């Protein structure tokens, strides 16, 4: 077997309680003098921001909020307009996937000198199922980005952005190595204000990353090994975090698991659960962690005939009793174990419970078929009808 494993340019990952204290030295290493800190509305007035302001001192030029779930393009341009012509030479994102993706998108907008959302079309991935793809490249050097995640979305470990075109209600992908954060800080001390439901839901998003990595059509032994360990850690430590949100060791283990879940995204693409989830988010404004809770078990069952051995491994990693069972029996347990974990975390399991309407199914399915990751489904998708059927089952 011959292959090539490609690393994206994350230069450093700091992990552990208190590692954020190293941030000023890292900013100095990058030669930045005017950093902009982007955060969520909920964190804008939090003690964490005060701590970072004191820590960074004159290195910090401005603190901004205003990010919107699913990164609608208009919100990106509104924030970018507040940074334009200020000499910003570093972006720092503090928050979840929305904030981190927004910072990536702002770097793209400022670096390429874009003035209006329509110009983004020149940079979005164009995909026609099953294999016609165009990935435009970024032309200019972008502002570097340091990511400080406070959820488990793992957006900080990818060279991908999802930006929602709010007029067409579709989430589009943008892929370029320059979009990758250069440095990541996983400090559980900064996550104590993260709502418990959000921590659990983004943990399920990380589980979705890991599961679709294990049975992707483009598997790799490195990513499979890390994804299985991610599944083990999330299955053990997400319930511990729910029981005791102040358990920093459990939070750090979940952060490490989120990293492992998305470690090789440039080598092994996610699959159908992600493709459908992207568009449920765009059409119905449902958080991606919640879309994973709802859609992942159904997609696992859909994929089961093509992924028996992989799903048997997933069952074992989730702590299922697979000894003495056939591969078919062990594999069938995997989706059931995911459902049990979602229920234990008290997260939604049905689309109707998050206000997704049946009349949205067809446009969601049509846009999902134009989502690049659907091509990595181990079971080929025959058309929008199969996706609508999955949405019906999940409703």
Rounded Cα–Cα distance for residues 233 and 318 (Å): 9
First-residue to last-residue Cα distance in the chain: 42
356 occurs within a structural domain:
yes
Residues 119 and 134 in one domain: yes
End-of-domain residue from the set 191, 224, 243? 191
Q: Any idea what the CATH number is for the domain that residue 154 is in?
A: 3.40.50.1970
Residues 224 and 124 in one domain: no
Residues 113 and 210 in one domain: no
Tens digit of each residue's pLDDT (9 = 90 or more) over 306-355: 999 999 999 999 999 999 999 999 999 999 999 999 999 999 999 999 99
Residues 235 and 343 in one domain: yes
Residues 21 and 55 in one domain: yes
End-of-domain residue from the set 138, 159, 191? 191
End-of-domain residue from the set 191, 207, 231? 191
7 occurs within a structural domain:
no
Q: Which residues contact 353 (CB under 8 A, 6 or more apart)?
A: none
User: Residue 182: exposed, middle, or buried by beta-carbon count in 10 A (0-12, 13-18, 19+)?
Assistant: middle
- Both structure tokens of 298: 């159904």
4 occurs within a structural domain:
no
1 occurs within a structural domain:
no
Rounded Cα–Cα distance for residues 349 and 338 (Å): 10
Q: Could you tell me where the DSSP H helices lie in 215-326?
A: 221-243, 248-261, 272-284, 288-303, 308-317
How many CB atoms sit inside 10 A of residue 74's CB? Answer: 14
Rounded Cα–Cα distance for residues 135 and 117 (Å): 18
At 2 the pLDDT is 72
Residues 217 and 296 in one domain: yes
Rounded Cα–Cα distance for residues 215 and 210 (Å): 9
pLDDT < 70 stretches in the chain: 1
Residues 183 and 214 in one domain: no
Rounded Cα–Cα distance for residues 283 and 276 (Å): 11
185 occurs within a structural domain:
yes
Task: Show the domain range for 283.
Answer: 196-394
Rounded Cα–Cα distance for residues 87 and 94 (Å): 20
Residues 210 and 348 in one domain: yes
C-alpha distances (whole Å) from 368 to each of 121, 129, 170, 352, 360 are: 18, 10, 9, 19, 12
101 occurs within a structural domain:
yes
- Both structure tokens of 378: 């181990």
Residues 185 and 222 in one domain: no
Domain count, the chain: 2
Q: Do the beta carbons of residue 200 and residue 241 sit within 8 Å?
A: yes
Q: Any idea what the CATH number is for the domain that residue 345 is in?
A: 1.20.1090.10
Sign of torsion, CA 359 364 369 375? negative
Residues 39 and 171 in one domain: yes
3 occurs within a structural domain:
no
At 1 the pLDDT is 58
Residues 210 and 344 in one domain: yes
290 occurs within a structural domain:
yes
- Both structure tokens of 371: 């989502």
How many CB atoms sit inside 10 A of residue 221's CB? Answer: 10
Residues 169 and 312 in one domain: no
Tens digit of each residue's pLDDT (9 = 90 or more) over 191-201: 999 999 999 99
């Amino acid at each position: 077997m011959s292959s090539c494993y490609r690393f994206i340019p994350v230069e450093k990952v700091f992990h552990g309680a208190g590692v954020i204290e190293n941030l000023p030295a890292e900013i100095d290493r990058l030669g930045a003098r005017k950093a902009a800190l982007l955060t969520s509305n909920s964190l804008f007035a939090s003690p964490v921001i005060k701590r970072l302001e004191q820590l960074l001192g004159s290195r910090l030029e401005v603190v901004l909020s205003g990010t919107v779930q699913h990164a609608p393009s208009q919100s990106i341009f509104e924030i970018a307009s507040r940074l334009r012509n200020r000499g910003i030479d570093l972006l720092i994102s503090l928050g979840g996937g929305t904030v981190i993706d927004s910072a990536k998108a702002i770097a793209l907008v400022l670096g390429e000198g874009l003035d209006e959302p329509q110009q983004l079309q020149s940079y979005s991935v164009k995909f026609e199922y099953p294999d016609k793809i165009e990935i435009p490249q970024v032309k200019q050097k972008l502002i570097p980005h340091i990511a400080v995640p406070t959820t488990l979305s793992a957006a900080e470990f990818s060279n991908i952005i999802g930006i929602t075109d709010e007029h067409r209600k579709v989430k589009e992908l943008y892929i370029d190595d320059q979009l990758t954060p250069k440095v990541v800080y996983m400090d559980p001390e900064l996550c104590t204000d993260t709502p418990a439901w959000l921590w659990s839901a983004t943990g399920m998003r990380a589980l979705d990353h890991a599961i679709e990595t294990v049975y992707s059509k483009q598997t790799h032994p490195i990513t499979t090994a890390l994804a299985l360990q991610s599944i083990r850690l999330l299955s053990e430590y997400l319930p511990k975090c729910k029981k005791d949100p102040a358990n920093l060791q459990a939070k750090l283990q979940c952060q490490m698991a989120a990293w492992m879940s998305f470690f090789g995204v440039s080598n092994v693409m996610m699959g159908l659960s992600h493709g459908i989830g992207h568009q449920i988010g765009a059409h119905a404004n449902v958080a991606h962690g919640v879309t994973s809770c709802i859609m992942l078990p159904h997609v696992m069952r859909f994929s089961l005939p093509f992924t028996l051995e992989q799903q048997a491994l997933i069952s074992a990693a989730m702590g299922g009793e697979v000894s003495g069972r056939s591969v078919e029996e062990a594999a069938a347990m995997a989706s059931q174990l995911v459902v049990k974990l979602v229920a234990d975390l008290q997260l939604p399991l049905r689309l109707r419970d998050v206000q997704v309407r049946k009349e949205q199914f067809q446009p969601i399915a049509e846009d999902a078929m134009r989502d690049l990751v659907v091509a990595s489904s181990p079971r080929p998708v025959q058309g929008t009808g199969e996706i609508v059927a999955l949405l019906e089952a999940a409703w």
